[in-house]
Chains A and B, each alone.
Chain A
Amino acid sequence: MIDRLLYVDDEDDIREIALMALELDLGFQVRDCGSGAQALEIAATWRPRLILLDVMMPAMDGPATLAALRTREETADIPVAFITARTQREDLERLMALGACGVIAKPFDPMTLAERVRTLL
């Protein structure tokens, strides 16, 4: 079975690398977008199994996007994992407390990223 993943990050380079890293797992079908607003649209229609959400994004940041996802009926139950460069314990705990199913620290190891995501599913 193919699992749909949505990767949301405003950094194009990182998005491209993450996409390549995740697609190393042939069981993943990955889509990406560069903003929270786009993520809301795609999530509502495409219904991914998991959303990987960057925390620091202009306009609508990760936590705001998560909150918006939770308010919409069609996306309320989609698991969300944050990807962040702020990796101190307090940051991770704060993000977990927002209702994320996991937090992945940047920089991530691209060769093991897919495995890590798999453990979140």
Chain B
Amino acid sequence: MAISKTRRHSRWRSRALIGGLVVSALVIQLLLAHFLNSEFRQGQLLAREAEQSHRIRGNLLNVLSLHRDMETGQRGYLLTGDEAFLEPYRAARAQAEHKFRALEHVLDAGSPLVSAMTDLRRLSHAKLDFSDRTIALEAAGQRDLARAAVASRQGKALMDAIRAQVTRLDASERQRLAGRTANAFAAQDEARRLSLMLLAGLAALLTGAAVIVARTWEMRRRLVDRLRDAAARQQAILDSTTDAIITLNPSGSIESLNRAARIMYGYGEDELLRRDVSVLFDLAPERGETQTFLERLSIEDGGRGRMMEIISRRSDGASIPTEVAVSPMHLPTGVHIVAVVRDATERHRVSRMKTEFVSTVSHELRTPLTSIAGSLGLLAGGAAGQLPDRAARLVGIAHANSERLVRLVNGILDIEKIESGQMRFDLRPVSLTDLLARTVEANLGFAGEYGVQLDQIETETPALVLGDADRLVQVFTNLLSNAVKFSPAGGTVTVRVSAREECWRVSISDQGRGIPKEFRPHLFEKFTQADSSDTRAKGGSGLGLSIAREIAHRHGGTISFDTTEDQGTSFHVDLPCVDDAARTAAADGPLPRILHVEDDVDMTRVVASALEGRAALIPAHSLRRARELLAKDCFDLLLVDIGLADGSGLDLLDACGARPPVIVFSAQEASEHTIGRAQAVLVKSRASIGRLVAAIETALSNDKEAA
């Protein structure tokens, strides 16, 4: 979580940096554009102003030149009286006004030259008036007056004033242009300086961006390398495992598989990709029922994975037993499945070998034990004549221990059978009262050896349970002999049967020292006794309670104890009760037929015995078998387990419509969907056989009424 937060933070930081760079670059470009534009305009303006100034100065020179022409014409005429001199005078005079207008036109209204121009024009008018007057006097033949006027030097003064004014104007205009140009150059310099700064900034930004891009690329390259390495490493790990690892998408198609999977199933590199998982497992989803398939695999028990034993199919059609650990992966695209598959062939073979080995060893041990225990038994029994006391005691010890060795061998064989699931239980309704009486009877002699009295509390009820009489006697014998061994001489071991809720309780109580506190949690473990000296003193195998507990469990029962130090211990065996009245009730007419879909063979036997005389139970130990039976036969009731080796019993519910009534009897909690369709949902760990029988009878009678 922290790592992803840091990564997010770093990602945002680099994005902000890149954004800042881009914005800065844009701003700089805009500023540059602005400066260049303004510089261009300034240049244009300056050029225009220079042109205008040139034009003004040109016109000023023209005006001066015209006045010179006019003066030359006037003087020539006055000196010669030749009217030919008046032609340039007149031409210049005619142009003078035009030139002044042109100058005024060129000048801006606010130009400081305007007033100076007015003065020039005034001087020009005065000069023209003077010249016109002198020419008029000459033309009128009054040459003297004309010469006197010229001699007055008024014309010259006016001409000098005009020349001086033109020179002033020209200088002013030149100065103005020079100032303007200097300003423009200064602005240009400033703009150039700023532009250079901006360009430098832009260059820095670009350099920064280039550095960032280079670093990002480098980081990216490293990241890609790391990811590639990690992926390769992960693939190498997956490929080096001996277990097959397969991932499935939410619809049950194969997404990926490792090398072990390809080898185990005998397929090529990509042959299995996107194919339905049913190609590998005998756990095929029905057409259109992929969701049910996934539910069955993992989601049923709250999304947690589980171990399953599934028959797998190889590409060559061969079947192999496999252990499959199925776990859901909650991804954004849905619930995917990862299945770790292990070939169980070897484990099965080893297990078989172990069982055979234990069986053989126990047999091989029994043969010499028969000779030893037999010889010692004969000696101890006096068959070979009376032995001296000390010899008899030694023979007695040897004999007792040879018997203990026999019990140990038997215990090991029992444990092996139970653990490998090969111990068979022949379940029938049996009376606990009778079995206890038998057990007590058989152990009277043994108890007598310890000076212990056995007391069975009498009871009216037979206390019927579904059980294997021999195995139950084995349990009670073990508890009874323990009680005797741990009782003080002269003590009493009490045996009683009492009714509990939906079960019978067998209690065997002694008056011994009680079980030490630290030993209580380990009481039912194999080869444990309170201390090693006890083991020897009491001659136990260390397996009895472990076997007793397993046998009780296989009967759907439990075993427990209460103990108080120095007061004694009571062991309790609770076994589900059977309603004997119902069992013996004679059924009129044909019995209702119940299809019991259940992969635990012992459980089908228990239920069949419980329903004896009331219903005919047809067992189906797989989903496939159940479907076959449903296809060709009619049943009055469907009793289904959910978790079957080849699928979920719930799949049958949708297939079989409204009839027959359904009862779910499973170790798993059922969903609401199931409750809606089923008449009753019973959880194996909480419901007794009695309650199951009651639920079946209710469902059958409801169905009969409805029909």
* A contact residues, range: 20 to 34
Please give, as numbers and ranges, the residues of chain B lying within 8 Å of A13 by CB-CB distance. 371, 375
Q: Is A73 an interface residue (CB 8 A)?
A: no
- Interface residues in B375-425 by Cβ distance below 8 A to A read 375, 377-378, 381, 383-384, 402, 406, 410, 413, 417, 424
Taking a contact as CB atoms closer than 8 A, the residue among B359, B362, B383, B417 that contacts A21 in the complex is B383
Q: Is A71 an interface residue (CB 8 A)?
A: no
Please give, as numbers and ranges, the residues of chain A lying within 8 Å of B377 by CB-CB distance. 21, 109-111
CB 8 Å contact bits of A21-40 with B (1 = contact, 0 = none): 10010000000000000000
Q: Is A88 an interface residue (CB 8 A)?
A: yes
**Given A11-B371, A13-B371 in contact, is the A106-B378 Cβ separation under 8 Å?**
no
**When chains A and B are docked, how far (Å) is the Cα of A105 from the Cα of B409?**
13
CB 8 Å contact bits of A1-16 with B (1 = contact, 0 = none): 0000000000101100
**When chains A and B are docked, how far (Å) is the Cα of A108 from the Cα of B413?**
18
Q: Is B428 an interface residue (CB 8 A)?
A: no
**When chains A and B are docked, how far (Å) is the Cα of A20 from the Cα of B242?**
60
Please give, as numbers and ranges, the residues of chain A lying within 8 Å of B424 by CB-CB distance. 89-90
**Given A20-B383, A110-B383 in contact, is the A85-B374 Cβ separation under 8 Å?**
no
- Interface residues in B316-372 by Cβ distance below 8 A to A read 359, 362-364, 366-367, 369-372
**When chains A and B are docked, how far (Å) is the Cα of A87 from the Cα of B370?**
13
**When chains A and B are docked, how far (Å) is the Cα of A105 from the Cα of B367?**
11
By the criterion CB–CB under 8 Å, are B367 and A110 in contact? no
**When chains A and B are docked, how far (Å) is the Cα of A111 from the Cα of B383?**
8
Max chain A Cβ within 10 angstroms of own Cβ: one of B381, B384, B410, B413: B381
Q: Is A81 an interface residue (CB 8 A)?
A: no
Taking a contact as CB atoms closer than 8 A, the residue among B367, B370, B381 that contacts A111 in the complex is B381
Q: Is A86 an interface residue (CB 8 A)?
A: yes
**Given A20-B383, A24-B383, A90-B424 in contact, is the A85-B378 Cβ separation under 8 Å?**
no
By the criterion CB–CB under 8 Å, are A18 and B383 in contact? no
Taking a contact as CB atoms closer than 8 A, the residue among B363, B372, B383 that contacts A85 in the complex is B363
By the criterion CB–CB under 8 Å, are A85 and B370 in contact? yes
Please give, as numbers and ranges, the residues of chain A lying within 8 Å of B402 by CB-CB distance. 107
Query: In the complex, what's the smallest C-beta–C-beta distance from A119 to chain B, in angstroms?
Result: 15
**When chains A and B are docked, how far (Å) is the Cα of A18 from the Cα of B417?**
30
Q: Is B525 an interface residue (CB 8 A)?
A: no
Q: Is A120 an interface residue (CB 8 A)?
A: no
By the criterion CB–CB under 8 Å, are B413 and A88 in contact? yes
By the criterion CB–CB under 8 Å, are A11 and B383 in contact? no
**Given A18-B374, A110-B374 in contact, is the A85-B367 Cβ separation under 8 Å?**
yes
Please give, as numbers and ranges, the residues of chain A lying within 8 Å of B369 by CB-CB distance. 106-107
Taking a contact as CB atoms closer than 8 A, the residue among A14, A21, A56 that contacts B378 in the complex is A21
Q: Is B280 an interface residue (CB 8 A)?
A: no
Taking a contact as CB atoms closer than 8 A, the residue among B364, B366, B375, B406 that contacts A17 in the complex is B375
**When chains A and B are docked, how far (Å) is the Cα of A108 from the Cα of B375?**
11
**When chains A and B are docked, how far (Å) is the Cα of A85 from the Cα of B361?**
11
Taking a contact as CB atoms closer than 8 A, the residue among A14, A24, A56 that contacts B374 in the complex is A14
**Given A20-B378, A85-B363, A89-B424 in contact, is the A108-B383 Cβ separation under 8 Å?**
no
Please give, as numbers and ranges, the residues of chain A lying within 8 Å of B463 by CB-CB distance. none
Sample (26) of A-B pairs whose CB atoms are under 8 Å apart: A11-B371, A20-B383, A20-B384, A21-B374, A21-B377, A21-B378, A21-B383, A24-B383, A56-B363, A85-B362, A87-B366, A88-B417, A89-B424, A89-B426, A106-B366, A106-B369, A106-B370, A107-B366, A107-B369, A107-B372, A107-B374, A107-B402, A108-B374, A110-B377, A110-B378, A110-B383
Name B's A-contacting residues (CB within 8 A). Answer: 359, 362-364, 366-367, 369-375, 377-378, 381, 383-384, 402, 406, 410, 413, 417, 424, 426, 470
Name A's B-contacting residues (CB within 8 A). Answer: 11, 13-14, 17-18, 20-21, 24, 56, 85-90, 106-111
The 4 closest A-B pairs by CB, nearest first: A85-B366, A17-B374, A107-B370, A111-B381
